[in-house]
Amino acid sequence: MTAIRCMPLAWRTNLHWYFLGLLHESTSLLPKLTMVVAIAIGLACSGFAEDAERNYPFPTVPRSILERLGEMELGEPAAVDPAEWIILQEAWTLRDSLDAEKQTPEYDQLVVKLMLAASGVVTEEAQAPYLRKLEALIAGARVAVDKGKPETHPGDSLIKFLHGGVMHGGYESGQSSFAAVFDSGIYNCVSSTAMYYVIGRELGLEMQIISIPGGSFLSGHACLNLVDGDRTYEVELTNPDGFDWGTKLSQPGVFTIGFQPNRKDGHIVDGIGLAATIYSNRGVDASKAESPDRIAAVSLGLRALMCDPYDSSSAQNVLAHASRSIDSITEGSRFAYALSVADVYAVMIDSAQEPQQLQAQVWENRARNLADQKKWSESIEKSAEGLKAVPGNERLVNGAVLAIDDWADEAMTLKDWDGAVTVYDRGLKYFPENGHLKNNRQYCLGKKAEN
């Protein structure tokens, strides 16, 4: 599973320390250097994010899956609040809207409501205090920008205003919540980008949010470009000096160290797409909590897809959450319930990609649990029963064969070759054409003859 995260690090110049949102955690700041060096394992490179062709990955729309989860009474937040449904449906309706349709006050209001809902603040009553705080913050930002020096770009004045006020609490990698910035002043690349974007839109700034997906070892990153006429400024929101960041890093005597993902590896998302990232990160957090709530993680990932149905990272996270929730339910000995949940999840998987793999996972887990208790016969029977529901599944076959070998090994350790042959005969009753079982049975007969 991946989440959009970032970590701050520093680069040294003769005048200032600058902090940049990184894609992974650093161990320490570098000591004082005798030369000018930039540590920029972030978005140091110049460039413009390119839109890649993206498609919704599942055969069923996310709302239908969410409704089925809700019907199973899996609890909050699997059951979506009615107020949240209204907001999410508005986002889904706008999923393929043209940019021109997004240049309205109504669109901006929806973005704010979505960012709050994605942060767990759903009802109008709960959102009202945050909207009042936002209104006051926008008024303050207008004053700060108006009072800025003539040579200071409004975008630069805005980032300094935010870091000196609402974002006073500093950086924390897991703090993606838009609402929590108001509560604590703490932010990460996602929540700081959200704050800048929402207020910048009110000030008339033209911005493009860039989402760079994570990988196996690195989390993703969120940032934006500010477009002013024919000039594009790179903005790193975790840094109070992050305006026109590419220019700062291109100053004479400054060079970069370490991995630097290119903005062109990311793609442009709109405000609703950034709200999707908040939902998705919240789902990852639910899955990684001390007491993981996998079903909540699935639900939150699906809500992310209602906002941005073309986000492959959210889709991959949903499938990972689903698989892990199946494991956790089966481990709790809720076998029939796990099969019901797997039936709901199965609609997310395209028919060309083994649509019954989640159901097979339930049978496999149950058979393995029985084998762990050395209930060999029951384990093999459960695998065979699963193969009737999911014919030809290799994982079920391999699991059953492994259990048969482990069962026979108990007899072989005691040199009870008759007992071992009997085990393999039991196995061949279920899997009569399995070459491995036939060979092992023949081996046991040979050992019996030797003795």
Q: Which residues pair with 4 in a beta bridge?
A: 220
Q: Which pLDDT value is given to residue 31?
A: 27
Is a pLDDT exceeding 90 seen at residue 214? no
**CATH number given to 356-451:** 1.25.40
At residue 18 the predicted structure's pLDDT band, cuts being 50, 70 and 90, is very low
**Nearest one of 310, 291, 314 to 220, comparing CA atoms:** 314
Share of the chain above pLDDT 70, in %: 82
Over 60: is that where the pLDDT of 13 sits? no
DSSP output for 129-193: HHHHHHHHHHHHHHHHHHTS-TTS-HHHHHHHHHHTTTTTTEE-TT---HHHHHHHSEE-HHHHH
Burial class of residue 312 (count of CB atoms within 10 Å of its CB; 0-12, 13-18, 19+) = middle
- Predicted local confidence at residue 32, as pLDDT: 25
Q: What is the mean pLDDT of the chain?
A: 83
pLDDT per position as a tens digit, 359-397: 888 899 899 999 999 999 999 999 999 999 888 889 899
Confidence of residue 320 (pLDDT cuts 50, 70, 90): confident
- Between 26-40, 70-84, 120-134, the lowest mean confidence (pLDDT) is in 26-40
Res 165 pLDDT > 90 = yes
**Domain ranges within the chain, ordered by starting residue:** 49-241+262-280, 356-451
What is residue 217's predicted lDDT score, i.e. its pLDDT?
65
Q: Which residues pair with 243 in a beta bridge?
A: 235
Which pTM value belongs to this model? 0.79
CATH topology of domain 49-241+262-280: C8orf32 fold (3.10.620)
Output the CA–CA distances (angstroms, integers) from residue 252 to 20, 308, 323, 416, in the order listed. 19, 40, 51, 79
What pLDDT does residue 60 have?
Answer: 85
State the pLDDT at residue 23.
Answer: 31
